[in-house]
Amino acid sequence: MFCNLISSRVVSFVPSVRAFSQSALWQQPGASATRSGAKKAVKKPAKKTAKKPAKKEPRPPSKAAILEKQLSSKKALVKLPKGPARMFAIFINEVTADLKKDQSNVVNIAEITRVASQRWRALSDAEKQKYQVQQTELKKKYEQELRQWWATVDRKLVDLENKRRRRINAAVAKEGKGSRMTLLKDPFAPKRPPTSYIVYASEKLSQSLPVQGITEMSAQAKTVAAQWRSLSDAEKAPYVLRAKEAKAKFDKELAAYNAKIGA
């Protein structure tokens, strides 16, 4: 009986020992273990990353900067239709096509120009007439394209392009090198009316040539200008009136033209 009592006590004691050995009290300081004996992963504190400042959106360019970029551009802001080819250019294209038929010959620009010049000089006026007809047809087509271009182009861009060209011309005049650029002008718009002085000068130069025995045009203009300055207001009145009439006619024609093109 005593043995049985001891056995029951031992059996009940074993689970208690096992539970105690697995408890936190049994573990050594700083150590942790699972039932399988593997160590638990220690969670590291998350690193605090500094917030990057938000990217600032670039400011849109100012109107002055946009204008300066346009005026400083090396390329034209507007492009006119290509002009018609001349008679000799039409003939050169014909000669080029003829020479390129023979693939055995190497055709370059210098050779084409030499051969075309020789053949052109050998043509009679009657033979050149067909190229004149072609040129006339191309010119008519170009005028239609040019008229359509001026009717639809942005006039503000044309004004900007002329400002750009004036700046280039000023630089050419200052530096003494380069070529001047022609300002864009609508050939289909009504012609500007003459001033009272232009009316007077045109009349005098057409009535009396040469003026007071002066044959050079520049000298004639100076003489007419001096005569105009010596006139009284009463003597200038007829020319002033004619200039006003021409201005009134111009304003009317310009209004009709702008209404037609929708400007």
pLDDT for 5 beyond 80: no
pLDDT for 128 beyond 90: yes
pLDDT band at 57 (very low <50, low <70, confident <90, very high): confident
CA 141, chain centre distance (Å)? 26
User: Which whole number is the average pLDDT over 51-63?
Assistant: 79
181-185, 195-199, 219-223: least confident range = 219-223
Most confident option among 9-13, 23-27, 65-69, 239-243: 239-243
Structure tokens at 240: 């002033």
The reported pTM is 0.63
Structure tokens at 50: 């500094």
Task: Look over the chain and give the mean of its residue pLDDT values, rounded to a whole number.
Answer: 82
- What is the spatial distance between Cα 94 and Cα 36, in angstroms, rounded to a whole number? 98
Is 14 buried (19+), middle (13-18) or exposed (0-12) by CB count in 10 A?
exposed
Residue 163's closest CA among 78, 59, 248?
Answer: 78
pLDDT band at 28 (very low <50, low <70, confident <90, very high): low
The whole-number pLDDT of residue 40 equals 62
- What is the spatial distance between Cα 246 and Cα 195, in angstroms, rounded to a whole number? 9
The larger pLDDT score, comparing residue 123 to residue 6, is at 123
User: Which whole number is the average pLDDT over 226-246?
Assistant: 95
pLDDT for 127 beyond 90: yes
6-15, 78-87, 251-260: least confident range = 6-15
The whole-number pLDDT of residue 20 equals 46
Peptide bond into 60 cis (omega under 30): no
Structure tokens at 166: 């004036």
The whole-number pLDDT of residue 15 equals 52
Beta bridge partners of 89: none
pLDDT tens per residue, range 84-120:
999 999 999 998 888 887 665 656 888 888 889 999 9
pLDDT tens per residue, range 146-159:
999 999 999 999 99
The whole-number pLDDT of residue 7 equals 52
Is 85 buried (19+), middle (13-18) or exposed (0-12) by CB count in 10 A?
middle
pLDDT band at 39 (very low <50, low <70, confident <90, very high): low
Structural domains of the chain, ranges and CATH numbers in brackets: 64-175 (1.10.30.10), 196-261 (1.10.30)
3-state SS assignment for residue 217: helix
